[in-house]
Amino acid sequence: MVRSGIKVGFSAMMVIAGLAIIAPAAAEAAAADPSGYWLLGGDGGVFAFDTVFAGSAASDPALCPPNTKDRAEPDGTCWSMAATPDGGGYWILNGDTGAIHSYGTAAFFGDPAARSAGVSREFLPNGRSIVATPSGRGYWVLEAGLSGLGSVLAFGDAPFLGDTVTAGVSHDGEPVAMAASRDGRGYWIVDSDGGVFNFGDAGFFGSLGGTRLAKPIVGIAPTPSGRGYYLTAADGGVFTFGDAVFAGSTGGVRLAKPVVGIAADPAGQGYWLAAADGGVFSFGGAPFRGSLGATHLSRPIFAIASTPGVATVSGTAP
């Protein structure tokens, strides 16, 4: 793990409810699979596990301050991150102000904050997700407006292909996460009720809209092929569509904190789940690189992103 430039080694294990379970096969899988991941804290803190640490918004308290009383959101304001396709950088989204902070090889292409200048605070939407284009020369931002629908803002070479506001869809949930197709000419939006909305060349492979869920959906991750996707709920339940292969979940496990996001392993058919306390759970051969489950955090974890950026997804607020 790399945190604030300090590298710490972890053995291959999974931590569930404080119990470390050594997985011998996981070490072999980790050696063959170069994939790693980042975790993002609500204060902008970045925790890198076998990936590049390129900086943290937590170094400046003004970038991701605690929520104010007039904003009914969880603790912390930086809720989503996206990695560059080369794995050398990332963007951090302040969901409260719409500001985007770039690190490493991530270039800045604009942000919602500029558009919101002078707008009264109660009318500002919440930024839910930031997703990089395959080229790394742009990104999309998913926002949840007062209507409860999801609006998409495109920056750099990211094309605007529609959203649930312009489509005028009926919905029961609120937008929580977004993911892009492999070629960047399409994307999916997922709502908290499991409804999936596809735009551009992103295929529709099914959804959970109308399904009774124990906990709301918090994240979506496309498969490496782009012909399927995973959804995860706050209890760690995982739902597969298209060519996504179910490899396990934490749906039947008592968790200390809720799951906040999912990321697909770009090198295989596995995936990682991340919880608000920094716990990471790996499934389907995705290598376990470590977690923060036993670490005291100043703010909860809000998102997980894997490398390369094309296969990443940012979770929603816990």
Which helix (H) or strand (E) segment is 104 a member of? strand 100-104
pTM: 0.87
Q: Cβ distance 40 to 301 under 8 Å?
A: yes
CATH architecture of the domain with range 2-57+75-311: 6 Propeller (2.120)
Predicted confidence (pLDDT) per residue in 227-282, tens digit: 999 999 999 999 999 999 999 999 889 999 999 999 999 988 899 999 999 999 99
Query: What's residue 34's pLDDT?
Result: 80
Q: Would you give the distance in Å from CA 231 to the centre of its chain? A: 11
Query: What's residue 294's pLDDT?
Result: 81
* Exposure class string for 145-157: b at 16+ Cβ within 10 A, else e: beeebbbbbbbbe
Query: What's residue 278's pLDDT?
Result: 97
Query: What's residue 36's pLDDT?
Result: 93
Count other Cβ atoms within 10 Å, centred on residue 216: 17
Query: What's residue 250's pLDDT?
Result: 95
Query: What's residue 269's pLDDT?
Result: 84
The domain segmentation of the chain, as residue ranges, is 2-57+75-311
Query: What's residue 135's pLDDT?
Result: 95
* Non-local CB neighbours of 131 within 8 Å, separated by 6+ positions: 82, 139, 140, 142, 178, 179, 180, 187, 312, 313, 314
pLDDT < 50 regions, the chain: 1-27, 29-30, 309-314, 318
